[in-house]
Chains A and B, each alone.
Chain A
């Protein structure tokens, strides 16, 4: 190890950053998109834009559906259709403990027929449990990556003793210096966000990698922990078994809700515990959540008498801290502007990781005195470009597949995910066979062309399938298309300016190692 702590931390920062940088980049890109996962799903399932949502009506119809389909279930969970998500998702737990899930039309309460796509959920699930590996392994790998990221960030802070002074230094298009300055700048801009997001992401999965506490204190049922941390436990007599009983009509509950919440806020979720028994109760949760501890307003009623019951949420400070790690990470409290800030902070995280990895590469390129082929450097260069440009290109191809295949083949198996991985692999292959000088320009060019044409392709397909008939209809898609063009524009800027940086590196290397320039060999 190095003699000074700062040098040791610099070493640790470089190597931990390199080791999991690519995985962290993927997690950050897909995690940032996940803030808009419902919007991505709505873009990929144009049928959703044609559903009118009336929550009162949706609640009535879903109650009728569940009373008919699952009257003897233990619990019903209902994610009620809203402006954000136009379908009602229900799942219920049968007496044998098995779960059934259905996606319903909020108006008819019939199984809804949508395009066979995972939409934004694919990005959301990928960012915390990866794909193609067992869920537990994926989550453990992501947790490990989050832990390494925390270590890399803290060691990075220790390394840069003048981190805030360096924040105001940006020497553009000057080889290694430019990457270092850019890396410092983007790291400092959203540093609290990066620390928060990595730590909360890590803490969420503590039950997977630190299970000893749960095994010791919950030997019979580890999941009892989750009930206890969320709700206050009331001692109930053990022989009190629920007896069959009729429930009061949901309209009576709705009229009570109107009295207690006169502003008629949007409802997020409903849970019915022990339906059609004398212990049946309903918990209704508001959509708007101004807390960071997932503690939005809720009401609990008895479904046999209609009386309002005590709030059973656990209000212990540690229980709020537990809710806080989820709340801060997923930001359900964020309004449009704050959500945008979270999204762009995530994008800054991607830029931080990318610039760090590029800095590593450029530094070693300059240090490679013999100018000989180095397999490690070759791989890092190729993986860098295949991740930083290849992944966004794969995302664009995923979206293209939706427009060009899924919408016209509603009954065929979903090919979007296959196309996502195949296109990513193609980008890696292109990177492997490209010359170093043209590596970035080729990849960026592919991304720019594809992303520039995507909104146009989308409009043509939507017009063809009659999903849009006027400018007003298109307004529901415009935000998404503007985002695509924004990133296309950023890539165009990078594409135009990537060659000055490469030339600077080349010049520096030549001046350093050519004796004519008066430099030592």
Chain B
């Protein structure tokens, strides 16, 4: 009973960390990728603002997904995969 309670709290702690820190990093790279793409079709300031605008929505979805998934393993895979994906994309696009 006691172990379950500790397990639950540790689980929650790591989910919060993933949702906040992972979500923030992922949104940051997401905004860079999207800004690079938007730069093709719109001026610089507009591209930066619109990418940040979408990154906020992305963060909220990321945060809620981290708590909506039952399996903690899936949460870790999902967050690491998306963060790495956007990091690589932002690095590739310059």
Contact = CB atoms under 8 A, between A and B. Distances in A.
Interface of A: 1-3, 5, 8-9, 11-12, 147, 150-151, 154-155, 199, 202-203, 206-207, 210, 212-214, 216-218, 225, 228-229, 314, 316, 318-319, 321-322
A186 to B, nearest CB: 22
A319 B56 contact: no
A218 B47 CA distance: 12
A213 B35 contact: yes
A225 B48 contact: yes
B49 A229 contact: yes
B44 interface: yes
12 contacts: A1-B15, A5-B68, A8-B67, A8-B68, A12-B64, A150-B60, A207-B52, A210-B28, A217-B35, A217-B48, A218-B44, A318-B49
A213 B56 contact: no
Which secondary structure dominates chain A's binding surface? Answer: helix
Interface residues of B, number: 31
Interface of B: 11, 15, 27-28, 31-32, 35, 39, 42-53, 55-56, 59-60, 63-64, 67-70, 72
B46 A229 contact: yes
Contact of B67 (A11, A214, A225, A229): A11
Most buried by A among B35, B42, B45, B46: B45
B45 A213 contact: no
B86 to A, nearest CB: 12
Nearest to B27: A210
A200 to B, nearest CB: 10
Given A316-B42, A318-B42, A213 B48 contact: yes
B17 to A, nearest CB: 14
Contacts of A9: 64, 67-68
Contact of B45 (A1, A11, A154, A229): A229
B56 A199 contact: yes
Nearest to B32: A212
Contacts of B51: 213
Given A199-B56, A210-B27, A316-B42, A321 B50 contact: yes
